[in-house]
Amino acid sequence: MRLDELDATLADPTIAADMKRFRELTREHAEVSGVVERFQRFEQRERDLLAAREMLPDPEMAEMAQQEIDDAQADIDRLDVELQTSLLPRDPDDARDAFLEIRAGTGGDESALFAADLARMYLRYAERRGWRTELMSESLSDLGGFKEVVFRIEGSSVYQRLKFESGGHRVQRVPATETQGRIHTSACTVAVLPEPDEAEEIQLNPAELRIDTFRASGAGGQHVNKTDSAIRITHLPTGIVAECQDDRSQHRNKAKAMAVLAARLREKDRSERAATEAATRKGLIGSGARSDRIRNYNYPQGRLTDHRINLTRYKLQFVLDGELDEIIDALQAARAAEQLAALESGDA
């Protein structure tokens, strides 16, 4: 049994010396033990169901037996779905940390203010889950919003929880600058990129990079106006750009910008492969492309709608305060249902 093998391997004191290997084994142990526990519970509830059916003919026990039959069957049905879902092919990036990018789109200053609202939503969600966040770069608008902002988020299953957030987010509301009370529509794009392991990072050829230094802008005290500590790196073959100005150290800013650039290039490769593989069918959750309009935030109605799964909730402020689990759980359940249907039809 794989769980026994993992128990024996993790008991070996030499394994702890290789932290990367130890983390991989610990993660696999948690996943396998979860499957085993569900299966054991499934078997126990089947035994309970059988025992309850044997008691059913007894008039004195019939009512209690029927209740146990109903409860056991409900547990069996739920555990059966959970077991099938837990055995589905896993995205190898699910356990990774991630870079979260938010860019203002159509709508000018209002779009930039909405980008700031989305940033607060994700930062509050990260705080609720105990994740660590780090500002990588930001470009502020005149009214205090973000033209663009990039965060690194570190914690348990960050990419797994956030990956379906990639796409176009549209807002409908009356802007603070609107004097006649008219509702405006604007949009932002969100991209969630898994952070590659150092060993798996794309090897960047220095000859293909243009590295520019510039003075950081925005908040940060007088220091940022005295030194060219901010870094912008352009990958010449693709035109992909990454920058960082959050740190006073030019060296640390360069390292952070290189990490973001590597993640963007890796995501570009992954997206191109996924597009090729999915050329003949459209996934339920969508391609995750930034151009896809995935969600609408309607302030006057207090309504949030995720178009990929036709999910509508009238609890917009609740979600904007970082309560995203209900939405994310629904998206993951829809993805699992799609995978199960593909397996059953033989398309997987």
322: pLDDT confidence band, cut at 50, 70 and 90? Answer: very high
Q: Cβ(335)–Cβ(164) under 8 Å? A: yes
| C-alpha torsion 12→13→19→24, nearest 10 | 20
Mean pLDDT of the region 55-64 = 91
pLDDT of residue 221: 43
Q: How far from each other are the two terminal CA atoms of the chain, in whole angstroms?
A: 26
Q: E strands within the chain?
A: 98-104, 132-140, 146-154, 167-173, 184-194, 209-214, 230-235, 240-244, 293-298, 303-306, 311-313
Question: Does residue 222 have a pLDDT over 90?
Answer: no
Instruction: Please tell us whether the domain made up of 206-273 is placed in CATH 3.30.160.20.
Output: yes
User: Where do the CATH 3.30.70.1660 domains begin and end in the chain?
Assistant: 98-200+286-340
Q: What type of residue is 55?
A: M
Question: Does residue 290 have a pLDDT over 90?
Answer: no
| Exposed / middle / buried, residue 44 (Cβ in 10 Å: 0-12, 13-18, 19+) | middle
User: Where do the CATH 3.30.160.20 domains begin and end in the chain?
Assistant: 206-273
- Which CATH number describes the domain made up of 98-200+286-340? 3.30.70.1660
161: pLDDT confidence band, cut at 50, 70 and 90? Answer: very high
Output 277 or 167, whichever has higher pLDDT. Answer: 167
Question: Does residue 27 have a pLDDT over 80?
Answer: no
CA distance 75 to 83: 12
pLDDT of residue 72: 93
CA distance 152 to 33: 30
Question: Does residue 282 have a pLDDT over 50?
Answer: no
